[in-house]
Structure 1
């Protein structure tokens, strides 16, 4: 999924002289995703003294608030996974020489406790089109594309790779926090390494505004996850953490 995202964004990065986006935009993509994002960033920047970097911050917070129910569902599912870790370990130990049987019994355990192991993918699936729409909103809005924020031009690559590195590091910490309930899961451990590398690959090749959006979003998610996980005494039972 992440590889697909990199390929799509890399293809977008080769787009030359994209047409400007405005209120007269047509087509579902431009009218309902790209233009609203462009408008939101511009209006937010207008309120915040003309800073499009801060405008992206406002847009990021609003988007993350919209997908918050999915994030909460993901965390509940993660807590439910944590609750059944001892049973999963028993299955792995019992069928260590028969991976197929171990997988069958693990899936049966998920069904018994109404856990959807793919629930954690929902936020990423939702964010993929948003990230691509962000790229188009930036590239096709001259005011954003040419704006300078801190040391970088939002429409150009970060010349010092500072922001892509910060995006990768915060992605790692976010993944670690979100995956704390599955620390013994090899796939989760691999994802914790692969996701930051993918974000770094995106950040060093595409406009700085995308890395800025990702850093803002990661910080929001880290803070959100901290508050949702901080009460260690109130772990959900598996069926309370259902992710249908």
Structure 2
């Protein structure tokens, strides 16, 4: 479910990116604009000022910081997922035992499942949509702050203008490649058993490439930094997982 919601959320971003993208100011109306996007816009400008008006470095820096801040949610979810794998045989036995669809049988099943979750310290809520629902408002607000902060478009970074499409088209290509790598690493176990998810791993980079080709260069820059961070995070987590598994023998 989490993976599907992540994909839908990314598509939702692309749909909304063509909506009202008027510059954000202190006078912008609406709860979302005033309490979410505007503070992020101010933060971007503050960090850019620290970097001598380098908005490219500001976007990179803030993207990494935000990813670090929401990383505990990811780590907690990953830990729960590992615990859930270990107790799957026990859960399967309970589901087979209480296979009836009547209300009484289902209540017994739920009670037994909660006992198992408590025994192994597994939080079923952390396995579902809650971590994603906490993360997405933050990521959405930062994304739209990048789009709506007019000062960004007035500055250059490396070989490109942040407010115009990359003239060399290197950023869209890198955004697509890093999306593919990040997707493969984060869903490797899922895609092996789910052909639809495997296909999505090839579709999403194409969508990213097509979208980023003509978008302001700051957006693929943001996607690249986020993808690289998540890729490194997944590699580190997999190494820790393998080390833990080897030490358990």
TM-score, normalisation: structure 1: 0.70
Map of 1:192-207 to 2, 5 A cutoff? 192-207=201-216
Tell which structure's C-alpha radius of gyration is larger. Answer: 2
Work out whether residues 44 and 58 of structure 2, in 8 Å CA contact, stay in contact via their aligned partners in 1. yes
- Please state which structure has a larger fraction of its residues in helix: 2
Pairwise CA RMSD: 3.6
Counterpart in the other structure of 2:199: 190
Work out whether residues 180 and 201 of structure 2, in 8 Å CA contact, stay in contact via their aligned partners in 1. yes
Aligned pair 1:234/2:225, yes or no? no
Q: Structure 1 residues 4 and 140, CA, compared in 2 at 3 Å: closer, same or farther? A: closer
Counterpart in the other structure of 2:151: 143
SS in 2 for 1:184: helix
- Aligned partners of 2:129, 2:206: CA distance in 1, in Å? 18
Q: Structure 1 residues 117 and 215, CA, compared in 2 at 3 Å: closer, same or farther? A: farther
The number of residues matched between the two structures is 216
- Aligned partners of 1:165, 1:14: CA distance in 2, in Å? 25
Map of 1:3-22 to 2, 5 A cutoff? 5-6=10-11, 8-13=13-18, 15=20, 18=22, 20-22=23-25
Map of 1:122-141 to 2, 5 A cutoff? 128-130=136-138, 132-141=140-149
Work out whether residues 40 and 55 of structure 1, in 8 Å CA contact, stay in contact via their aligned partners in 2. no
- Aligned partners of 1:197, 1:118: CA distance in 2, in Å? 31
Q: Structure 1 residues 27 and 15, CA, compared in 2 at 3 Å: closer, same or farther? A: closer
Counterpart in the other structure of 2:105: none
Counterpart in the other structure of 1:50: 53
Relative contact order higher in (CA < 8 Å, ≥ 6 apart): 1
Work out whether residues 182 and 227 of structure 2, in 8 Å CA contact, stay in contact via their aligned partners in 1. yes
What is the Cα deviation at residue 78 of structure 1?
4.9
| More displaced 10-residue stretch of structure 1: 184-193 or 122-131 | 122-131
TM-score, normalisation: structure 2: 0.68
| More displaced 10-residue stretch of structure 1: 35-44 or 123-132 | 123-132
